[in-house]
Amino acid sequence: MNGGFLQTPINYLKGVGPNRADLLKKELGIHTFQDLLNLFPNRYLDRTKYYKITELQRNSAEVQIVGKVIHLKTVEQKRGKRLVATFTDGTSKMELVWFRGHKWIRENVKINVPYVVFGKTNWYNGTFSMPHPEMELVSKHKEGVRSAMQPIYPSTEKLSKSGITNKVIIGLLQQLFTELKGNFSETLSKTILDSLKLVSKSTALLNIHFPQSPELLARSQYRLKFEELFYIQLQLLRKNLQHKSKIKGYPFEEIGENFNTFYNHHLPFELTNAQKRVIKEIRNDLGSNAQMNRLLQGDVGSGKTIVALMSMLIAIDNGFQACLMAPTEILSVQHYNGLLELCNKLNTSIEILTGSTKTSKRREIHKKLENGEINILIGTHALLEDKVKFQNLGLAIIDEQHRFGVAQRSKLWHKNEYPPHVLVMTATPIPRTLAMSVYGDLDISVIDELPPGRKGIKTVHRFDSNRLKVFRFLKDEISKGRQVYIVYPLIQESEALDYKDLMDGYESIVREFPQPNYQISIVHGQMKPADKDFEMNRFVRGETQIMVATTVIEVGVNVPNASVMVIESAERFGLSQLHQLRGRVGRGAEQSYCILMTSHKLSSDAKTRLQTMTQTNDGFEISEVDLKLRGPGDIMGTQQSGVLNLRIADIVKDSAILKIARSYAMQTLKTDPALASEENKPIKHTYSQLVKFKNIWNYIS
């Protein structure tokens, strides 16, 4: 069946008038025959089993029963009437109940004739009842063409109210299959079909909507999930290959003086094997003719900054400039101070540009950038302004990239004749399955070991009733000269409440830790940026021992002397947030602690999150649990929601299929990059249709 016919607008399908078409478009996004075909059921009802009334359980399950109506009566109730039929299957009796449509039912229901009734059962006053059952004469039931498993489709309140019920959608699909005569052109190559023993496209589509058996349904679901994930991976991998062949980068052939001097004489500590491996991967990319497009994942404290610096030194050795862009001013300043210290023995010039850089300083930086006097520029979004022009930007490093939009990143690309090499860094571990899909067109490097000498953070869960013990522990740590964070949740909708929690908490801490023995900083979202910075800096300099804050301290604050993180109402935080907050401590040589405080009332998800935190410090393990709890949309944050608008596959549950799909997509492109062979004709055709009709997800890069 050709793709063109499937693009027919839905209003041309028999049974869909202008009103229905309008509702289907608005409520379910169904514009064409193809969209209706791709409206896959959420679940199925097993209509192969007929229950006896004596077998029914007291739960509101949907069941079908064969029996006869032996009596009909009308019962008065507070508002209006209800019609009640006594129904028997020979083993026992139950009631069928209608609250509306009495006249039609009285006229049409036959007494003492066998029916199949189907619906949800209720147990009340010692009797089972079924409100508004579906009823069909047994004689008619035997003739009907139907599948044993009845599909239940996604719906909305508006659709149900407008009479577009599940039954209507099933009818529309039956009509569509009749018009299409059930023939669909194959979308995968024979090699893939044979090798994975997949059912054909026609079999899969028929059985996903009208399963002939549970086994065929399972095989059809597998086939369609594989196909969906295969084409996503094919597009991402193809994009990556085209990127490498089309987008030329500057080849950095020289590993020169800056890099070697730093590596041989000024490394502050021995590199871990993971760091060495990642630097090698980056060197290979920079040395090729293609533009590097790499994602560097590494947990908090794994030493990404050193890798970033060494990559920048390669750019400088080859006569180019480098920049590092961070999402916040505090983080930019921290990167700047860290790199300045590392480079003070090298002949490199580093500058910082943020929103608060003075105008005169700005002008000076703009001038020095253009004439090449500045080697490394660090900054916030301010780097993207049109006034910022480099002499020759060779490498752009973006930290915590999920905070920058695609449009913002592309501005960096246009500051040069060739786009610079790009290294994206994140301390938010992204689960493998998600990374393969969302960043499938980037090459991925992972730093998966901590530098030697770092002690794992000890994490414990304590209830509010243990607060006094926790305070005693904090006093002990402070007496050893350490510093403490106490963090309160901030949830936009209840800002007033959160502010009250924070202030109440602050007052009780001030009572418990009185001046002059203790100094306390406080930072929250309603403060002016200058006041926030003032308080943060007091803590960084060690003038205050306790920092009471809302989650504004989440990313990147580096205070090696802080050894305890107390998270209040920890059950209100997500896993990745808890992990990020915990990463604020454990940056020095001392043993660090993270204390999760909660009330006794916890949901099962909250228990899972707290348990995960106390059991492991491994960000990747945590991200996998997080993905299972929250689903992919939430993890990517709102900027990238809709990224994985999948019709049938599920990134979490189908991760095994995803891996297989990716390996087959790689294999296909390896042997036939242009998809030109006869064998891959169906793949090439499907791929071009998907791109043409925008039915494939436009991925981020």
Lowest mean pLDDT among 236-240, 255-259, 310-314, 351-355: 236-240
* Type of residue found at 128: F
- Helical segments of 447-494, H only: 467-479
Mean pLDDT of all residues in 74-95: 91
List, by residue range, all CATH 2.40.50.140 domains of the chain.
48-145
Mean pLDDT of all residues in 60-88: 90
**What pLDDT sits at residue 639?**
35
Structure tokens at 504: 């109440």
List, by residue range, all CATH 1.10.150 domains of the chain.
3-36+155-203
Residue 112 β-bridge partners? none
Strands 134-137 and 114-120: antiparallel
Q: Is 234 helix (H, G, I), strand (E, B) or coil?
A: helix
* Type of residue found at 563: S
Residue 520 β-bridge partners? 546
Whole-prediction pTM: 0.65
Lowest mean pLDDT among 182-191, 232-241, 256-265, 645-654: 645-654
Of 180, 230, 233, the C-alpha closest to 209 is: 180
Structure tokens at 372: 């090449």
Q: Is the pLDDT of residue 275 over 80?
A: yes
**What pLDDT sits at residue 642?**
37
Q: What is the CATH architecture assignment of 458-616?
A: 3-Layer(aba) Sandwich (3.40)
Lowest mean pLDDT among 12-21, 381-390, 413-422: 413-422
Q: Is 658 helix (H, G, I), strand (E, B) or coil?
A: helix
Structure tokens at 269: 């500590």
> How many C-beta atoms surround the C-beta of residue 277 within 10 A?
16
Q: What is the CATH architecture assignment of 3-36+155-203?
A: Orthogonal Bundle (1.10)
Of 592, 568, 574, the C-alpha closest to 301 is: 592
Q: Is the pLDDT of residue 407 over 60?
A: no
Structure tokens at 245: 């062949």
**What pLDDT sits at residue 143?**
67
Helix axis angle for 304-317 and 273-287, nearest 10°, is 30
Q: How many Å apart are CA 325 and CA 425, to the nearest integer?
A: 10
Whether omega before 516 lies within 30 degrees of 0, making that bond cis, reads yes
**What pLDDT sits at residue 699?**
29
Mean pLDDT of all residues in 388-402: 85
**Tokens 């309008």 map to which residue?**
22
> How many C-beta atoms surround the C-beta of residue 455 within 10 A?
13
Fold of 48-145: OB fold (Dihydrolipoamide Acetyltransferase, E2P) (2.40.50)
**What pLDDT, in 10s, does the model give residues 85-112?**
999 999 899 999 998 888 888 999 999 9
Q: What does each C-alpha distance from 91 to 51, 355, 422, 554, 606 come to in angstroms?
A: 11, 80, 74, 65, 47
Average pLDDT of the residues of the chain: 85
List, by residue range, all CATH 3.40.50.300 domains of the chain.
458-616
**Tokens 């750019």 map to which residue?**
315
Of 332, 321, 467, 471, the C-alpha closest to 399 is: 332
Residue 149 β-bridge partners? 46
| Percentage of the residues of the chain whose pLDDT score is greater than 70 | 90
Structure tokens at 20: 């229905």
